[in-house]
């Protein structure tokens, strides 16, 4: 049986932390579906098509990873792709409460879906998409924090 993990998020933009989590997920699952949330109530910096393209550039040629956009409930989308687990990253205690609530709600919606928390590489634990956006907005150097394609997209968004 093929074990499928779903790794959902906003990925606005994808960071090296996301890439690290995707690669770690491959140790647990045969296939990983990276699922980009389309949230009509949020105003993302990058449209979903661009986030998907940046994720593809970040992960590169990895046949066991696919990228999809989804709208609505994660639990329903996970079921539609045959995923048996949701992967989420835990960087610090501050992530825990929200993640715990989400995991329990997703379990209520889809009891067979397990949430698995992975810890990113130590040197990436402080990294978040919102910090990367902020650094880029004020002209700071994001090289090393994101794939060069993402750094280019941020420079285009925030010309200095």
Of the candidates 75, 3, 1, which has an alpha carbon nearest to the alpha carbon of residue 35?
A: 75
Determine, following the binding rule CB under 6 A, whether residue 69 of this chain makes contact with ligand PNS: no
Of 2-21, binders to ligand PNS (CB under 6 A) are: 8-10
Question: Which one from 18, 51, 88, 133 is the annotated catalytic residue?
Answer: 18
Residue 107 among the catalytic residues: no
Q: Is 129 known to be catalytic?
A: yes
Residue 80 a catalytic site member: no
Q: How far is CA 27 from CA 50, 117, 142, in A?
A: 27, 13, 28
Nearer to ligand PNS, 9 or 13 (CB): 9
**Ramachandran category for residue 7: left, alpha or beta (phi over 0 → left; psi -120 to 50 → alpha):** beta
In terms of C-beta density within 10 A (0-12 exposed, 13-18 middle, 19 or more buried), how is residue 67 classed?
buried
Verify binding: residue 45, ligand PNS, rule CB under 6 A.
no
Determine, following the binding rule CB under 6 A, whether residue 85 of this chain makes contact with ligand PNS: no
Catalytic positions:
18, 42, 91, 129
**Residues contributing to the site for ligand PNS (CB under 6 A):** 8-10, 37, 73-74, 102, 105-106
């Amino acid at each position: 049986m093929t074990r499928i993990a779903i790794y959902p998020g906003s990925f606005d933009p994808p960071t090296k932390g996301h890439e690290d989590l995707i690669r770690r997920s491959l140790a647990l699952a045969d296939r990983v579906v990276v699922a980009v949330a389309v949230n009509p109530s949020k105003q993302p910096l990058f449209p979903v098509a661009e986030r998907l393209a940046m994720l593809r550039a970040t992960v590169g040629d990895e046949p066991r990873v696919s990228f999809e956009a989804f709208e609505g409930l994660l639990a329903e989308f996970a079921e539609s792709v045959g995923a048996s687990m949701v992967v989420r990253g835990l960087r610090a205690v501050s992530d825990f409460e929200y993640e715990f609530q989400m995991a329990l709600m997703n379990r209520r919606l889809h009891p067979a879906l397990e949430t698995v928390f992975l810890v990113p590489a130590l040197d990436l634990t402080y990294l978040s998409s919102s910090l990367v956006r902020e650094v880029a907005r004020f002209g700071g150097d994001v090289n090393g924090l994101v794939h060069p394609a993402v750094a280019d997209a941020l420079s285009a968004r925030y010309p200095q």
